[in-house]
Amino acid sequence: MIEKRVISKRCGIINPLSIDDYLRTDGYIVLKKALKTDRIKLIEEVEASRLRGRGGAGFPAYMKMVGLAKEKGPVKYVIGNADEGEPGNFKDRYLMENDPHQILEGMIIVAFATMASHGYLYVRGEYSLPMSTMQWAIEEARRNNFLGSNILGSGFDFDIEIRSGAGSYVCGEEFALIESIEGKPGRTRVKPPFPTQKGLFGKPTLINNIETFSNIPLIISIGGKKYAETGTKSSTGTKLLCLSGNAKVKGVFEVPFGVTIRQVVEELGQGTESGRKIKMVQLGGACGPIIPEYMLDMVIDYERFEEFESKTGAGAIIVIDDRFNIFDILMRVVRFFEHESCGKCTPCREGHAQLAIIINKFIERKATAKDLFSLESLARVMHQTSLCGLGQTSPTAIISTLRYFREDYIEQIDYPINMGGQ
Amino acid sequence: MPLPSILEKHPRSEDQLIEILLEYQAAKDDHCISQEEILLISHYLNITESKVCSVISFYSFFSFVPRGKYVIQLCKDIPCFLNNSGNILKVLENLLGITVGETTPNRLFTLELTSCLGCCDKPPAMRIDGKTYTNLNPDKIKVIISEYSGKQP
């Protein structure tokens, strides 16, 4: 069995609406311990764990904590990012619906370690049920003084407020999310300054994906060094994966870093529902690379994924069988990002419209060899020059298919026209 | 709930704008924000009307134009597409007699497409007024729609 249920150990077992169930399964014990621990020691444990952000970008978690901790001033924010808009991802929903207090406990520990004063949990608007589960959990945590003033007699004050998204993918990007909490359209800001320096309402802010926060109680409980024994050199711990598409068994699975995509797809997903061959697998979500069947033996870890020049750690594994061709997928990817682009920077705003035009030429077999080169160079320019993660990662599906499915593009080129006229 | 009583629940602070819009639009039968309402909200929060409009136009949840009492949003993204959401869309269009973006003449239903609903483990998925429906098939759609049609007073 390749599954290793650590972060998801309570999921499906406890009643998420009962704080007593959480307390009975060692809940908030780590918080009690943390409140009596030196703040620097807590951050050092996270550093030793080598935990990296689980939202996709994979930024070392302790660095944000150090960044926030060294900022002075009475108002500092900690934000839980649950704006899970990446198609094919549903692990944040799973965590919120099944173990809401673990997220809160992680946020409170991080807030204590960094001396943060206020917390926000930004949940995408589509997630009505997870949002009400989290709201209930926050109220129960307040009643038990895990949130509020003078938490468990420690003298530390901290509370968490939920903010809802309103149907915008880009608000999962940290500065777009900050703008959205401020009540504005979710358009990113130019970095630096980074959020830990100047974030929400101009104050120092730490933003992590809620799966990242869910790892914190475990790290403080067993120690960073022990935590780092699971996984690979570049990626420690476990990862929640979301298996979907044409996989026979779909769902959220927790595995240690270092297992292969093939193990996940074949052992956990049990191949395809149709019994047909796998044509391709998209990793991470719409912003991730599309790889052919023969590459399924690649291991899941941050270092391996970085070879695609994309930040694809969010955890989606979308299995696609051979009834579909790459253009079915690419057109949807491009249209998705065209709609979700905030419009602030030119490469992203104009680029997606142009990508759609070129992809359409391939679908209609009107493409020329020149279109192939235009597509390649446009995708590269967008990747290199867009302001935020959206435009930087959205061409990944195109760049990866140009590499691994080049013959599929060439088949759609209309040679007679190309070689004639010009 | 009328707009003034929703406004009263929120502090007069700009960051409350999205919360107010979400709460009010959900409470309205036509799920949209009108010109007069934009004016009221902007006065209450002491911000310009254009600021309110920029938020409404940016977020796909908000609408300037009246919609049906029940807004049906079918997922258009890849995991649902791979599981036949295209067929579900046809069934919905036939059943309701409208295409995407339109509202039925009795103003009961509006049909929309939405980005991923995070239900990729139970595809295809759709939402009707905040409630999520998964593992859709044509028979299930017929039952759901007739239930909502029956709810008409």
Q: Give the per-residue pLDDT at A312.
A: 57
Q: Give the per-residue pLDDT at A420.
A: 44
Alpha helices in A152-256 (DSSP H): 174-181, 210-222, 224-227
Contact B121 A243 (CB under 8 A): yes
**In the predicted model, is pLDDT for residue A48 greater than 50?**
yes
Tokens representing A179 are 């703008």
Tokens representing A382 are 């967008």
Model pLDDT for residues B53-66, shown as the tens digit of each residue: 999 999 999 999 99
Q: Give the per-residue pLDDT at A422.
A: 42
Same domain, B122 and B81: yes
Return the residue matching tokens 């929903």.
A93
Contact B114 A245 (CB under 8 A): no
Q: Give the per-residue pLDDT at A314.
A: 79
In a domain, B63, yes or no: no
- Element of type H or E holding A65: helix A61-69
Dist. CA B28–CA B52, nearest whole Å: 18
Whole-number percent of chain A with pLDDT over 70 = 97
Number of A/B CB contacts below 8 angstroms equals: 126
Rounded mean pLDDT of A338-352?
A: 96
Same domain, B117 and B81: yes
Dist. CA A394–CA A239, nearest whole Å: 22
**In the predicted model, is pLDDT for residue A233 greater than 50?**
yes
Q: What is the DSSP track for A374-415? A: HHHHHHHHHHHH-SSHHHHHTTHHHHHHHHHSHHHHHHTB-H
Contact A168 B60 (CB under 8 A): yes
**In the predicted model, is pLDDT for residue B86 greater than 80?**
yes
Dist. CA A185–CA B14, nearest whole Å: 12
In a domain, B65, yes or no: no
Q: Give the per-residue pLDDT at A1.
A: 84
Optimal mutation site among B121, B128, B129, B133, interface A, most CBs of chain A within 10 A: B121
Q: Which stretches of A270-421 are assigned E, i.e. beta strand? A: 278-283, 290-292, 316-321
Same domain, B74 and B54: no
**In the predicted model, is pLDDT for residue B41 greater than 70?**
yes
Dist. CA A210–CA A194, nearest whole Å: 20
Residue type at position A310: S
Sign of the CA dihedral A171, A305, A398, B88? negative
Same domain, B144 and B90: yes
Phi, psi of A175 (to 5 degrees): -75, -30
Question: Would an 8 Å CB–CB cutoff place A339 in contact with chain B?
Answer: yes
Show Cβ contacts of residue B71 under 8 Å, excluding neighbours closer than 6 positions.
B31, B109, B110, B112, B128, B129
Phi, psi of A239 (to 5 degrees): -135, 135
Question: Would an 8 Å CB–CB cutoff place A12 in contact with chain B?
Answer: no
Same domain, B53 and B75: no
C-alpha A123 chain-centroid distance: 13
Contact B83 A246 (CB under 8 A): yes
Return the residue matching tokens 């997606």.
A352
Same domain, B50 and B74: no
In a domain, B30, yes or no: yes
Model pLDDT for residues B7-24, shown as the tens digit of each residue: 999 999 999 999 999 999
Tell me if the bond preceding B124 is cis, omega within 30° of 0. yes
Please provide the average confidence, as pLDDT, over all residues in chain A. Answer: 95
Contact B61 A125 (CB under 8 A): yes
Question: Would an 8 Å CB–CB cutoff place A248 in contact with chain B?
Answer: no
Model pLDDT for residues A95-112, shown as the tens digit of each residue: 999 999 999 999 999 999
Q: Give the per-residue pLDDT at B130.
A: 87
Rg (CA), chain B: 17
Tokens representing A171 are 């608000």
In a domain, B40, yes or no: yes
What secondary structure, in 3-state letters, does B76-145 show?
Answer: CCHHHHCCCHHHHHHHHHHHHCCCCCCECCCCCEEEEEECCCCCCCCCCCEEECCEEECCCCHHHHHHHH
Residue type at position A332: R
Model pLDDT for residues A65-99, shown as the tens digit of each residue: 999 999 999 999 999 999 999 999 999 999 999 99
Q: Show which of B58, B81, B104 is a domain's final residue.
A: B58
Model pLDDT for residues A171-184, shown as the tens digit of each residue: 999 999 999 999 99
Model pLDDT for residues A346-377, shown as the tens digit of each residue: 999 999 999 999 999 999 999 999 999 999 99
In a domain, B89, yes or no: yes
**In the predicted model, is pLDDT for residue B151 greater than 70?**
no
Q: Give the per-residue pLDDT at A306.
A: 81
Domain range for B18 is: 3-58
Q: For residue B56, give how far its alpha carbon lies from the nearest alpha carbon of chain A (Å).
A: 8
A421 falls in which pLDDT band (50, 70, 90)?
Answer: very low
* Portion 160-199 of A in contact with B at CB < 8 A: 163-169, 180-186
Q: What's the CATH code of the domain at B111?
A: 3.40.30.10
Q: Which of B14, B82, B118 has the CB atom closest to A324's CB atom?
A: B82
Q: Show which of B58, B84, B102 is a domain's final residue.
A: B58
In a domain, B84, yes or no: yes
Q: Give the per-residue pLDDT at A184.
A: 97
Residue type at position B65: V
Show Cβ contacts of residue A422 under 8 Å, excluding neighbours closer than 6 positions.
none
In a domain, B130, yes or no: yes
Burial (CB count <10 Å: 0-12, 13-18, 19+), residue A356: middle
Dist. CA A355–CA A221, nearest whole Å: 48
Nearest CA in chain B to A324: B82
Show Cβ contacts of residue B61 under 8 Å, excluding neighbours closer than 6 positions.
A125, A166, A167, B22, B25
In a domain, B126, yes or no: yes
Rounded mean pLDDT of A230-257?
A: 97
Same domain, B53 and B78: no
Answer for the pair A290, A319: CB distance below 8 angstroms, yes or no: no
Contact B118 A243 (CB under 8 A): no
3-state SS class at B30: coil
Q: For residue A110, give how far its alpha carbon lies from the nearest alpha carbon of chain B (Å).
A: 24
Same domain, B34 and B91: no
Distance set, CA B82 to CA A11, A270, A318, A321, B88 (Å): 27, 17, 9, 9, 12
Tokens representing A140 are 């129960």
Residue type at position B48: T
Same domain, B79 and B106: yes
**In the predicted model, is pLDDT for residue A218 greater than 90?**
yes
Same domain, B88 and B45: no
A128 CB neighbours in chain B (<8 A) are 130-132
Tokens representing A109 are 């520990």
Answer for the pair A87, A240: CB distance below 8 angstroms, yes or no: no
B78 falls in which pLDDT band (50, 70, 90)?
Answer: very high
Same domain, B44 and B89: no
Query: How many domains does chain B contain in total?
Result: 2
CA dihedral angle for residue A35, residue A41, residue A47, residue A49, rounded to 10 degrees: -70
**In the predicted model, is pLDDT for residue A4 greater than 70?**
yes
Same domain, B44 and B82: no
More confident residue, A305 or A346: A346
Q: For residue B140, give how far its alpha carbon lies from the nearest alpha carbon of chain A (Å).
A: 20
3-state SS class at A148: strand
Rounded mean pLDDT of A40-52?
A: 98
CA dihedral angle for residue A100, residue A105, residue A107, residue A109, rounded to 10 degrees: -170
Q: Which domains does chain A have, with CATH numbers?
A: 19-227 (3.40.50.11540), 238-321 (3.10.20.600), 326-419 (1.20.1440.230)
